[in-house]
Amino acid sequence: MKIGLLREPDFEHRVALLPEAVQKLEKKGHQVLFEPDAGAKAFAPDSAYTENGAVATKRTDILKNAELILTIQPLPVKELDHLQKGQVVVGVYNPLVNKELVNQFKEKGLTLLSLDNLPRTTRAQAMDILSSMATVAGYKSVLEAANRVPRFFPMFMSAAGTIKPAKMLILGAGVAGLQAIGTARKLGAVVEVFDVRAAVKEEVQSLGGKFIEVEGAKDDKDAGGYAVEQSDDFKNRQQEKIQEHAIKSDVIITTAQIPGKPAPKLITKASIEQMKPGSVIIDIAASSGGNTELTQDNKVVNHNGVMIVGNSQISSDMADDASRMFGNNVINFLEILTGENSALKLNFEDDIIAGCTITHEGDLISERIRKAYK
- 120 labelled catalytic: yes
DSSP H or E run through 101? helix 99-107
Q: Which residues of 222-260 are buried (b: 16+ CB within 10 A; e: fewer)?
A: eeeeebeebeeebeebbbeebeebbbebbbbbbbbbbbe
Q: For residues 155 and 166, what is the distance between their CA atoms, to the nearest angstrom?
A: 8
Burial label, 290 (beta-carbon count in 10 A; 0-12, 13-18, 19+): buried
Polymer length in residues for the chain: 374
173 binds ligand NAD (CB under 6 A): yes
Binding span for ligand NAD by CB under 6 A among 51-59, 116-124, 328-336, 337-345: 116-124
Binding span for ligand NAD by CB under 6 A among 25-33, 51-59, 127-135, 293-301: 127-135
Which of 47, 84, 125, 231 is labelled catalytic? 125
Given a contact cutoff of 8 angstroms between Cβ atoms, the answer to whether 154 and 189 are in contact is yes
Binding span for ligand NAD by CB under 6 A among 5-13, 47-55, 174-182, 316-324: 174-182
Given a contact cutoff of 8 angstroms between Cβ atoms, the answer to whether 66 and 83 are in contact is no
Closest CA to 151 of 107, 119, 188: 188
List the one residue from 74, 174, 182, 327 that touches ligand NAD (CB under 6 A).
174
Closest CA to 11 of 300, 314, 284, 291: 314
CB of 75 to ligand NAD, least distance (A): 24
120 binds ligand NAD (CB under 6 A): yes
Given a contact cutoff of 8 angstroms between Cβ atoms, the answer to whether 331 and 305 are in contact is no
- 231 labelled catalytic: no
Which parts of 128-147 interact with ligand NAD (CB under 6 A)? 128, 130-131, 134
Which of 226, 237, 350, 373 is labelled catalytic? 226
Interface map 81-100 toward ligand NAD (x if CB under 6 A): --------------------
Nearer to ligand NAD, 42 or 227 (CB): 227
CB of 327 to ligand NAD, least distance (A): 18
- 324 labelled catalytic: no
Kindly list the distances between the CA atom of residue 270 and the CA atoms of 213, 290, 293, in Å, as whole numbers in the listed order: 22, 16, 9
Burial label, 160 (beta-carbon count in 10 A; 0-12, 13-18, 19+): exposed
List the one residue from 89, 124, 142, 294 that touches ligand NAD (CB under 6 A).
124
Which of 104, 114, 131, 271 is labelled catalytic? 131
Query: What are the two backbone dihedrals, phi and then psi, of residue 11, each rounded to the nearest 5 degrees?
Result: -75, -15
121 binds ligand NAD (CB under 6 A): yes
List, in order, residues 6 or more apart from 222 with CB less than 8 Å away: none
355 binds ligand NAD (CB under 6 A): no
Beta partners for residue 163, in sequence order: 156
Nearer to ligand NAD, 30 or 197 (CB): 197
Nearer to ligand NAD, 29 or 224 (CB): 224
Beta partners for residue 162, in sequence order: 157
122 binds ligand NAD (CB under 6 A): yes
List the one residue from 166, 227, 253, 307 that touches ligand NAD (CB under 6 A).
227
215 binds ligand NAD (CB under 6 A): no
Nearer to ligand NAD, 179 or 279 (CB): 179
- 287 labelled catalytic: no
Binding span for ligand NAD by CB under 6 A among 189-197, 297-305, 313-321, 350-358: 189-197
Q: For residues 68 and 21, what is the distance between their CA atoms, to the nearest angstrom?
A: 16
Q: Which residue ranges make up the site for ligand NAD (CB under 6 A)?
A: 120-122, 124-125, 128, 130-131, 134, 171-177, 194-197, 225-227, 255-259, 264, 266
Mind telling me the catalytic residues? 120, 125, 128, 131, 226
